[in-house]
Amino acid sequence: MAKTVTITDTPAPAVQPYLDHHGRVASSLPGGDLSWLGNLRAEGIARFRKQGFPGARVEAWRYTNLRPLEKVAFEPAPAGGGPSAAVSVDLLPTVMPAGQPSHRLVFVDGAFRDDLSSIGTLPEGAVVTSLGHALNSHADLLERHLGRVGVTDSNPFQALNTAFLADGVVVHLPKGVAVAEPIEVVFIGTGGVSEKPTMHHPRILVVAEANSEATLVEHHLGQGVGTYFANHVTEIVAGEGARLHHYKVQRESTLAFHMATVTADLAKDASYDNFVLTMGGRLSRNEIKPVLNGTGVECRLSGAYMVNGQQHCDTTTVIDHAQPHCTSREVYKGVIDGTAKAVFQGKIIVRPDAQKTDGYQLNRALLLSDTAEIDSKPELEIYADDVKCSHGATAGELDDDQLFYLRARGIDLESARNLLIAAFLADAIEEVRIDTVREAFQGMVTGWLKTQRA
């Protein structure tokens, strides 16, 4: 099945070290006996070599400058985490109230940590395991699904992830199976200043068969202050009527690079909702690309981002309405302070067959300083005639009249600002329909606001 990719050009200088690392570690990556996997990785590195790191002339990367990432020499993270990888289980984040049953998988620098994880009891037939384990126990499932959804030539990070594919999460829900409690995945990056910058490339695969249901919560956490490169890829396959709730909070260290690509293949009547809360990272991008591949699909993408200092946060969504009678909805809200910059690119494609599409997109940014910046690029690509699609993008500042009104009632400036910021973000966070998750995320937003005091 592996495609042959002919390589004629010489790779860019920034690409070469990755090729070298790949050459060194490829043979020792897990699943070495699986030829399909070897082919997949080979195809990944070839694609990465071909694409390199796109510059501003590549449309999809126009607003996100990858130079800061290119300049760092990342090495593959040592298996089992680096020397500073001491992580205490008590300090791991969760959205669950203490004492409640949960399913939690923990990764340190991309490597699964059995000792820190507790998968718990699952309904009959459901599989929640690390990708490393699944290579032994569920190789067929992986062969059938890995690297199948939304592979493109405009995302080198997806290709790079495939090239180094070694660990991650596999969730398989057989027909009609619902996992009640959230499946929580914790990714910890341990970049320490004295250590060499490392990179890791975890993969999440969710295969949800007809009428199954689950909630996946990803926590991305930076420990320490150093730089590292977390390059995530999530592939989602949702069968007929499957319901997936996919939530993520990104609190990487402020020197970290965080790239995440989510692709989803959604069958008839499936529903998929994705929410990303971004607070951390020096440079981060969430690229979310669902394909609505059956009628009656409901897809909701939403998020809230809060960045300051020199952070750069990119949200890129492509919703592909390939079939009629589907609904998509996007609500993103961001708060940008300091010299931070945010990017929102939201494309909605409505294919010729996708009549009766209902698409809604909103991106609003709140600029808290004169030097904060937002680039917003909504894009409708509509090839059908009987559709309802709308988009709106605004950028504004805190309202002086509102601030004064609050202060005139005795609320100090800082608290008044925080009230207004929280209110601004509220309707994005409301998009999270699972109460425990929404409340936990709300708490993190409040915490973020408290740490921003000047």
Q: Which residues bind another protein (CB under 8 A)?
A: 400-402, 404-413, 415-416, 419-420, 422-424, 426-427
Q: Based on CB atoms, which residue is closest to another protein, 107 or 424?
A: 424
Q: Based on CB atoms, which residue is closest to another protein, 152 or 442?
A: 442
Least distance (Å) from another protein to the CB of residue 399? 8
Question: CA–CA separation, 2 vs 34, rounded Å?
Answer: 13
Q: Based on CB atoms, which residue is closest to another protein, 115 or 401?
A: 401
Q: Based on CB atoms, which residue is closest to another protein, 60 or 411?
A: 411
3-class secondary-structure state, position 153? coil
CA angle 53/79/83 to nearest 5° reads 100
Number of other CB atoms surrounding residue 396 within 10 Å: 10
Least distance (Å) from another protein to the CB of residue 447? 18
Residues in the chain: 454
Q: Based on CB atoms, which residue is closest to another protein, 144 or 450?
A: 450
| Sequence-ordered strand ranges (E) for 50-178 | 75-76, 103-108, 111-112, 127-130, 168-173
213-222 β-sheet, strand order: 111-112, 103-108, 183-189, 213-222, 243-251, 271-278, 298-307, 327-336, 358-367, 388-396
Q: Based on CB atoms, which residue is closest to another protein, 26 or 406?
A: 406
Question: CA–CA separation, 326 vs 294, rounded Å?
Answer: 8
What contacts 380, CB < 8 A, 6 or more positions away?
347, 348, 350, 359, 389, 391
Q: Based on CB atoms, which residue is closest to another protein, 140 or 401?
A: 401
Q: Based on CB atoms, which residue is closest to another protein, 13 or 410?
A: 410
DSSP annotation of 227: -
Least distance (Å) from another protein to the CB of residue 422? 8
Q: Based on CB atoms, which residue is closest to another protein, 57 or 409?
A: 409
Q: Based on CB atoms, which residue is closest to another protein, 342 or 425?
A: 425
Least distance (Å) from another protein to the CB of residue 429? 10
Number of other CB atoms surrounding residue 193 within 10 Å: 11
Number of other CB atoms surrounding residue 117 within 10 Å: 21
Least distance (Å) from another protein to the CB of residue 409? 4
What contacts 213, CB < 8 A, 6 or more positions away?
173, 177, 178, 179, 242, 243, 244
Least distance (Å) from another protein to the CB of residue 419? 6
Least distance (Å) from another protein to the CB of residue 433? 18
Question: CA–CA separation, 109 vs 222, rounded Å?
Answer: 10
Least distance (Å) from another protein to the CB of residue 217? 25
Dihedrals φ, ψ of 213, to 5°?
Answer: -150, 140
Question: CA–CA separation, 129 vs 125, rounded Å?
Answer: 12
Distances (CA, A) of 148 to 184, 246, 262: 24, 19, 12
Q: Based on CB atoms, which residue is closest to another protein, 128 or 445?
A: 445
DSSP per residue, 377-396 = EEEEEE--SS-EEEEEEEEE
Least distance (Å) from another protein to the CB of residue 333? 10
What contacts 34, CB < 8 A, 6 or more positions away?
135, 139, 143
Least distance (Å) from another protein to the CB of residue 345? 26
Least distance (Å) from another protein to the CB of residue 398? 11
Q: Based on CB atoms, which residue is closest to another protein, 103 or 364?
A: 364
CA angle 310/73/227 to nearest 5° reads 40
Least distance (Å) from another protein to the CB of residue 304? 13
CA 102 to chain centre: 21
Question: CA–CA separation, 167 vs 164, rounded Å?
Answer: 9
Q: Return the structure tokens found at 16.
A: 């070469």
